[in-house]
Amino acid sequence: MEQSNEAEGATQAYLGDLGKTKEIDALVQIPQSDRDEKWNETFLALVTQASFRCGDPQVINGPDGFPYFQLFLPEPNKSFQCFVIENMKNDFLLEVGFGVVINPSSDSADWVFSNGDILNLQLNKTFYSTEPTSFSKTKSVEILTESEQVMVAQPNEKLLPASTRKLLRDYLIRIGLAEPKVLLLMRTLKDGSGVSQNIVFNITPEQFENENSYQSVLRVISWYLPRHYSVVGMSEKTLGNDFVAL
């Protein structure tokens, strides 16, 4: 992973659970090739409140280009400044837009959390929501027919908090979208069994150099959001004035 500038405002010490830290230390001794679903579940149950030390620098750019706060297990018989994900998420991770990487090395890590994973922890008390939701499973461009009835709303604070809206707005403005807008689109399933929903942004492939550039922007947006969210782009002409400023 490539190094970047250190995080600011992350100097406050936290009180973590050293017992959970010890359990994680035992877990990571297991080779990655031998880690199964039970290993994953145990790790995720412990990692939120365990005590970690930070890296130097605190923040690195991952291979995917996103910023990650480095956390490592404490070294034996050495004092350390304690960092706890449960506290970090409220203090700066969600506001600044960092992910978290646990025990990174030159070619691997014990775990990598996107900023959207941290957001899901804040909203739903878990890094990954596995229960069925109303979000669409289709990750492609949405095509609406004239006869189709849709419902349009705005994502509320529970779905898209102000801090995340700001991160996305700043990003889209930075890449040249002068007026980023958003809406929540709900469509009746074809079999009438329910409703699917998408978070829609006023971006289309025509605004970018090529399709790859457009898809790259959607991937960046998705990195800041929980993994079960469905994110699509759509022209403002399609839904009139239903888009509002992000």
Tell me, what's the pLDDT at 148?
Answer: 59
Tell me, what's the pLDDT at 192?
Answer: 62
At 158-171, the pLDDT tens digits run 999 999 999 999 99
Q: Which residue has the tokens 């400023």?
A: 245
- State the pLDDT confidence band at 2, using cuts at 50, 70 and 90: very low
List C-alpha distances in Å: 194 to 19, 32, 43, 74, 189. Answer: 45, 40, 35, 49, 6
- Model pTM score: 0.90
Q: Does residue 4 carry a pLDDT above 50?
A: no
Q: Which residue has the tokens 């203090």?
A: 91
Instruction: Write down how long the chain is.
Output: 246
Q: Which residue has the tokens 């689109």?
A: 185
- State the pLDDT confidence band at 201, using cuts at 50, 70 and 90: very high
- If one compares 229 and 188, the residue with the highest pLDDT of the two is 229
- For the ranges 8-12, 57-61, 88-92, 185-189, the lowest mean pLDDT is seen at 8-12
At 20-52, the pLDDT tens digits run 999 999 999 999 999 999 999 999 999 999 999
Tell me, what's the pLDDT at 8?
Answer: 37
Go through 2-19 and write b for each residue having 16 or more CB atoms within 10 A of its CB, e for each that does not. Answer: eeeeebeebeeebebeee
Tell me, what's the pLDDT at 132?
Answer: 87
At 102-157, the pLDDT tens digits run 999 988 999 999 999 999 999 999 999 999 888 987 655 455 554 557 889 999 99
Mean pLDDT of the chain: 89
Q: How far apart are CA 103 and CA 209, in angstroms?
A: 37
Tell me, what's the pLDDT at 3?
Answer: 41
Q: What angle do CA 241, 224, 60 make, to 5 degrees?
A: 145
